Amino acid sequence: FSHLPYLLKMERVLQDEMMMDVFNPVQHNSSNVMPQMISEATVPLLILTSLLVIIWNCGTKPSVPGPSFWIGVGPLLSYIRFLWTGIGNASNYYNEKYGDIVRVWINGEETLIISRSSAAYYVMKHGHYVSRFGSKHGLQCLGMNENGIIFNNNPSSWKQIRTFFMKALTGPGLQRALAVSVESTKNHLNSFDEVTNFNTHVDVLKLMRLITLDIANKLFLRVSLQEKEIVSKIKNYFEAWQVLILKPSPFFKFARLYKKYEAYVQDLQHSIEDLVQKKQQKLSEDEILEENIDFASDLIFAQGRGDLTAENVQQCLLEMLIAGPDTMSVTLFYMLMLVAQHPDIEQKIMEEIHAITGESEIQNSDLQEFRILENFINESMRYQPVVDFIMRKALKDDVIDGYYVKKGTNIILNLGHMHKFELFPKPNEFSLDNFEKTVSLFF
């Protein structure tokens, strides 16, 4: 309604012009009479229409900031940026340019990039954002399309499979994790030769991958395996994942473009299939079941009941085993790097450990006491995240922080960017001060 004075003024001007035409001594022919009558009739309609447009615009939801559509060029350029620079870099670019909630397009699909804590919290806490998104052909090639838990885009299947992961990662399995981790770390530290090159340099990342795979095997599978071989195949699988996750359908029409990555995936899948068969054989030979049924056994029994398929079992076990050698191992590598770069923090951690445990081994009951160590772990993952974004899809129409989100919209939660600009007193520094107090209402 701020435009109302202008509209009224415009009406008076138009009326004055019509009155001048009426009193103009110049004779009007028949061809001028009809336009004059139309003009007189449409002036009120024009004013009414303008008022309705203004009211409508005031009542609609604000549009999400982002690049212009511009006859389809905008969606094409934003998709190219994601393919060329990667999801994390592209998300950071758009958040820095347009703000903490941005609308872009990926493969022609409208996508929101969110780095605002309140909006990210809302998405993570509501069940109609449990679905993932990605290239259908890419997910099929990876074995993740409507399967597993990481990128399963079938909500009902995801919810069913999630129960097996939750059971494995809580309760007795979690209680065993500390002892298994200590044992595995000691064993691998006593075998430094396996990760030391001819220059006596230790491949720390490889060491972390071997340790985490061994821990995952002892907790979730419990069969003998070739660690180095599996670690190498997992590394290749993740390379394929990064390449294929957003590729358009035409990419998969040219075998030479993706066959190498398909071979990487199948190589690991065949190894997992062999491990499942080995586990099945072991279960059939055991006269008495182990007291704590592990993750693999739980999956195999569910397959026997008809609750899961063989493909479900293999993909779930694959995803459980790859989580350690990739994300966890790289996280530990970054932590060791940060310790080396900050000897004062290392000293504080060691003093806390000695003060709590003395000369004894660390126990589960000690873990709640490690305040400095916990701050260090949280700050390491904030400052140097391995996976700094989460991908979701809206399963129904919704409103996020005042912005309308239609069903089918892709969502990228850019947590890495959010943690560098929100919530923390020293967001651009590696500092334990960032976790000295409760971070925020949302996280």
Instruction: Give 47's pLDDT tier (boundaries 50, 70, 90).
Output: low
CB 114 within 8 A of CB 414: yes
Give the pLDDT mean for 26-31: 40
How much of the chain is helix, strand and coil, in % rounded to 5? 65, 5, 30
Mean pLDDT of 113-139: 95
Quick one: average pLDDT of 89-104? 96
Query: In the prediction, which pLDDT does 328 show?
Result: 92
Q: How far apart are CA 164 and CA 177, in angstroms?
A: 17
> Any idea which of 58-67, 112-121, 181-190, 216-225 has the lowest mean pLDDT?
58-67
| Range with the poorest average pLDDT among 107-121, 311-325, 387-401, 428-442 | 428-442
Find out whether 319 and 150 touch, Cβ atoms under 8 Å: yes
pLDDT of residue 21: 41
Mean pLDDT, to the nearest integer, of 261-270?
98
Look up residue 57 and give its two tokens. Answer: 């615009």
pLDDT above 80 (res 276): yes
- pLDDT range class, residue 437, cuts 50, 70, 90: confident
Instruction: Provide the mean pLDDT of the chain.
Output: 86
CATH fold for the domain made of 65-130+343-443? Cytochrome p450 (1.10.630)
Q: What is the pLDDT of residue 354?
A: 94
pLDDT at 72: 87
Query: What confidence score (pLDDT) does residue 398 get?
Result: 96
Question: Range with the lowest mean pLDDT among 76-80, 323-327, 421-425?
Answer: 421-425
Residue 199 is predicted with a pLDDT of 82
pLDDT value at 147 more than 70: yes
Res 4: pLDDT: 38
What pLDDT, in 10s, does the model give residues 363-403? 888 989 999 999 999 999 999 999 899 999 999 999 999 99
What DSSP letter does each residue of 81-135 carry, written as one string? Answer: HHHHH-HHHHHHHHHHHH-SEEEEEETTEEEEEE--HHHHHHHHH-GGG-B----
**In the chain, pLDDT over 90 holds for what percent of residues?**
70
pLDDT at 228: 94
pLDDT for 116 beyond 80: yes
Q: Which residues contact 34 (CB under 8 A, 6 or more apart)?
A: none
- Rounded Cα gap, residues 211 and 229, in angstroms: 14
Give the CATH fold of the 136-341 domain.
Cytochrome p450 (1.10.630)
pLDDT in tens, 305-337: 999 999 999 999 999 999 888 889 999 999 999
What are the distances in angstroms from CA 354 to CA 121, 348, 350? Answer: 37, 10, 6
Q: Check whether 10 has a pLDDT greater than 80.
A: no
- pLDDT of the residue at 360: 87
